[in-house]
Amino acid sequence: MSRQKLIIIFTVFVDVLGFGIVIPILPFYLTEFGASPLTITVLFSVFSFCAFLSAPLLGALSDRIGRRPVLLLSIFSTSIGWFVFASAVSIPLLFIGRMIDGLAAGNFTTAQSYLVDISKNDEKERVKNLGIIGATFGIGFILGPMIGGVLSMVSHAFPFYCAGAMALMNGISAYFFLEESNVNHNTQSLRYNPVAPIVRAFKPSPLRSLYIKWFLFSLAFVVVHTIFALFAQKAFNFTSFQTGSIFTIVGLVIAFNQMLLLNTFWKKHFSDQQLEKIMLLFVVIGLLLSATQYLPLFFLGLPFIGTSQAIYRVVVSNQAILKADPLMKGEVLGTIASMMTVAMAATPIGAGALFQINISYPFIAGAFIVLVAFMISYRDST
């Protein structure tokens, strides 16, 4: 594996690891500041909102000035954000730290674009590289909560210092060893409007249907991650350790599919169009099995949910690249990331409201949303 690819993979790994660390540690850390549960929720939303603002800008910027400078800026900003968050002495500083990290969150999109660049228009290699990104996401999601728990034995702030240090080391290595990958710069003037990519996504274009299906999938994806722990506790009296173990299992399913099954089974036996419909159905099945509140069916649903997350993201990214203008690949991937962050910022409120009515309703609503995406996919193929 090339040095450049290793740096990109480590960039994604550090980002996801930080996200995984936040999940189990953040409530305990913020308790030291006297933060209320509402404050903790808003802190998550602030990060997602800032990521929504930054993703299309950094993606489009990388098309114009190159991937390397954008990656360096976002990696070092991530490091600063973690250090501010870890050393905060007040709640406003906590918000500033998460805002800095959120504004740097576009490096995931730019990292994807970098790996697409070095694929040299080879679809098999491009799918493999996108699969590596997804597998790295799964591995980071597996290790994040585990590492966060161990490091928090020193102090609740210590895991965040470590995340900042890892990002700093990654930035230094990228500065010295990462070469530019985007040799064909987009010379069009840069116009920044974070809402514009979302508006354009729903306008008639070859990518509109793909964007809509991705957005619907994202809504269900966020529903699962928002109320999963609460559901497990209410339905089955799971402890935080048991819930974390389940997240680890789902992460293993994601990594297994993207590292081993993506090219050897899924891409070998099915087209992207077929995989799209299969994975959307997997989401519906997994959510409805979970909604039964029957433990054996709940566990049976986990592989469906994990597999769909692993494969569908790669399918969407690959189809978007194939249909996009070659000079706007970064912007297209940035739009995909923006739609996910919009879902992450808005969906938890609705999911929480449904959960208060009936703990199964968020899963049922998510299944219905993805069923609409499946119907659109079926219509597109006929």
Distance separating alpha carbons of residues 160 and 87, to the nearest angstrom: 9
Inter-residue contact 140 to 19 (CB < 8 Å): yes
Q: Which CATH architecture has domain 1-177?
A: Up-down Bundle (1.20)
Q: Where in the chain is the domain with CATH 1.20.1250.20?
A: 1-177, 197-382
Which of 80, 84, 83, 55 has its CA nearest to residue 70?
Answer: 55
152-176: average pLDDT: 87
Give the pLDDT confidence score for residue 373 in this predicted structure. 93
pLDDT tier, 375 (very low <50, low <70, confident <90, very high otherwise): very high
pLDDT tier, 292 (very low <50, low <70, confident <90, very high otherwise): very high
pLDDT tens profile 23-75:
667 766 777 888 776 676 677 778 878 887 887 778 778 888 888 888 888 88
Distance separating alpha carbons of residues 22 and 5, to the nearest angstrom: 26
CB count within 10 Å of CB 191 equals: 7
pLDDT tens profile 295-339:
999 999 999 998 998 899 888 888 887 877 777 776 787 778 778
272-285: average pLDDT: 92
Query: Which amino acid type is present at position 291?
Result: A
Contacts of 143 (CB under 8 A, 6+ apart): 17, 20
Inter-residue contact 130 to 312 (CB < 8 Å): no
Which of 239, 351, 220 has its CA nearest to residue 288?
Answer: 220
Give the pLDDT confidence score for residue 147 in this predicted structure. 78
Is the model more confident about 203 or about 100? 100
DSSP 302-348: HHHHHHHHHHHHHHHHHHHHHHS-GGGHHHHHHHHHHHHHHHHHHHH
DSSP 18-36: HHHHHHHHHHHHHHTTT--
Query: Which amino acid type is present at position 318?
Result: N
Contacts of 173 (CB under 8 A, 6+ apart): 7, 10
Distance separating alpha carbons of residues 108 and 340, to the nearest angstrom: 12
pLDDT tens profile 172-194:
988 888 888 776 766 666 666 66
Inter-residue contact 107 to 126 (CB < 8 Å): no
Q: On the CB side of 196, how many CA atoms lie within 13 Å of its CA?
A: 11
Distance separating alpha carbons of residues 199 and 99, to the nearest angstrom: 24
pLDDT tier, 367 (very low <50, low <70, confident <90, very high otherwise): very high
The domain 197-382 is placed in CATH, from the list 3.55.10.10, 3.40.50.1100, 1.10.10.60, 1.20.1250.20, at 1.20.1250.20
Give the pLDDT confidence score for residue 242 in this predicted structure. 73
Which of 93, 87, 105, 90 has its CA nearest to residue 47?
Answer: 105
What is the overall mean pLDDT for the chain?
81
Given a cut of 80, is residue 128 above it in pLDDT? no
Which of 306, 126, 112, 339 has its CA nearest to residue 214?
Answer: 339
SS3 188: coil
Distance separating alpha carbons of residues 313 and 234, to the nearest angstrom: 30
Is the model more confident about 172 or about 8? 172
Given a cut of 70, is residue 341 above it in pLDDT? yes
User: Length of the chain, please?
Assistant: 382
